[in-house]
């Protein structure tokens, strides 16, 4: 597992796309779960 970490950290062509994908998933989670408001009735 550690070798995967170092590969991601040391090789920007692998690490950067992985970081972008992680942030995209995080954004989608927060957008759908925290920024969704229920209608007040």
> Quick one: average pLDDT of 8-30?
81
Sign of the Cα torsion 18, 12, 6, 30 reads negative
pLDDT band with cut points at 50, 70 and 90 for residue 25 = very high
Are 18 and 8 in contact, with CB atoms under 8 Å apart?
yes
pTM metric for this prediction: 0.51
> Quick one: average pLDDT of 1-25?
77
């Amino acid at each position: 597992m550690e070798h995967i970490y170092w590969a991601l950290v040391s090789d920007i062509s692998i690490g950067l796309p992985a970081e972008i994908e992680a942030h995209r998933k995080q954004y989608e989670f927060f957008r759908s779960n925290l920024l969704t408001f229920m209608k007040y009735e």
